[in-house]
Amino acid sequence: MDIFRAMDLFVRIVDKGSLTAAAADCDLSPTMVGNHLHALENRLGARLLNRTTRRQNLTDFGKSYYQRCVEILELVRGAEALALEAQSVPKGLLRITAPVTFGTEQLMPAIADYAARYPKVELDIVITDTVVDLAEDGFEAAIRIGNVRDADLVARPLAPYQLILCAAPQYLAERGRPQRPEDFSRHDCLAYNFSSRSEWRSTEAVWRIAGPGGRITIPFAPRLRIDSAEGLRRAALAGMGIVMLPEIMLSNDLQAGHLVRLLPDYDHPIRPLNLVYLSDRRMLPKLRSFVDFVVERFGAERRSVDHSSRV
């Protein structure tokens, strides 16, 4: 028997004054309610109600048991309410990871808005270019550059990374400004040293762009290799040479004139960006709220709207 169901029906019988009234209150037949009461009394080995055709009275044991049932049922309802709240209100620890450039330049300036919107969510954010294992390392979600080929992950596309070529004005004043892709062979070029697990890892240093005649590959001998986008940016600002970096981290430098965009009439690489989470992970409110926030703020549709509004 369902002990909590039987206790609830017993309390209803007492509160409503009769077995028939309790049956009507819970949309059951009087016989069914009577069967639950008999089963409960048999389980307890004691009578709870003295019943006649005209009235019912609690036994001495029934009075004490009734009070305990009311207390227990209140605790059960409170526990259920707590569970429902957990399923509807984003709360608890949320562990996420993002690549360094996006995390620093985009995610962190926006995360204050998320925290204000969902004050009960505690954030643990790891900013790294290392591709982590979400299940093994205990992350609910990750933002990743590149195509997602893992069948265990759900990928939500974000606005892609736009890369651009640029250099400092002092470097261009000394070495000249390249006007065509073939001019780069006479310049100092600085390369990003990709992780061994990156899909852009290559034994040769090349930049790929597109012009009126199609795709163009620009090979170069790097004067400097470094596994830090911020390190490359600093080297370019110091006049060490030409770099290809995400536009999101260079916008302020370009506006201030600290860096100059090169080959603006050519199409520069675009790399996909995705928010990923485990396909078998239960979508708790804290994860759902973060997914919705990131897609709303950085989704591919938003970038399309932004571009069309400037045309």
Residue 32 to residue 2: CA distance in whole angstroms: 13
Q: Are strands 153-167 and 260-261 parallel, antiparallel or unpaired?
A: antiparallel
Phi-psi group of 45: left, alpha or beta (phi > 0 → left; psi -120 to 50 → alpha; rest → beta): left
For residue 306, pLDDT beyond 80: no
For residue 30, pLDDT beyond 50: yes
What's the pLDDT score for residue 310?
Answer: 29
Residue 115 to residue 99: CA distance in whole angstroms: 20
The CATH 1.10.10.10 domain(s) of the chain lie at 3-87
Phi-psi group of 17: left, alpha or beta (phi > 0 → left; psi -120 to 50 → alpha; rest → beta): left
Query: In the predicted model, what is the mean pLDDT of the chain?
Result: 87
Across residues 64-73, what is the average pLDDT? 91
Provide CATH code, domain 3-87.
1.10.10.10
The CATH 3.40.190.10 domain(s) of the chain lie at 92-159+272-310, 160-270
For residue 162, pLDDT beyond 60: yes
Place of tokens 């030409």: 242
Convert the pLDDT of each residue in 221-251 to its tens digit.
888 988 888 999 999 999 999 999 999 889 8
Residue, of 200 and 300, whose pLDDT is higher: 300
Q: Which CATH class is domain 92-159+272-310?
A: alpha beta
pLDDT band at 127 (very low <50, low <70, confident <90, very high): very high
Across residues 159-176, what is the average pLDDT? 94
What's the pLDDT score for residue 150?
Answer: 86
User: What residue type is 4 in one-letter code?
Assistant: F
Residue 222 to residue 188: CA distance in whole angstroms: 7
What's the pLDDT score for residue 301?
Answer: 63
Q: Residue 86: enclosing H or E segment and its boundaries?
A: helix 60-88
Convert the pLDDT of each residue in 170-213 to its tens digit.
999 999 999 999 999 899 999 987 665 555 555 568 888 998 88
Q: Residue 245: enclosing H or E segment and its boundaries?
A: strand 243-246
Contact 11, 70 (CB under 8 A): yes
CATH superfamily name and code, 160-270: Periplasmic binding protein-like II (3.40.190.10)
- Lowest-pLDDT choice from 75-84, 176-185, 187-196, 295-304: 295-304
Residue 285 to residue 91: CA distance in whole angstroms: 7
CA–chain centroid gap for 91, Å, is 13
Q: What are 77's two structure tokens?
A: 């309802």
Please state the pTM of the whole predicted model. 0.63
- Lowest-pLDDT choice from 113-122, 126-135, 202-211, 267-276: 202-211
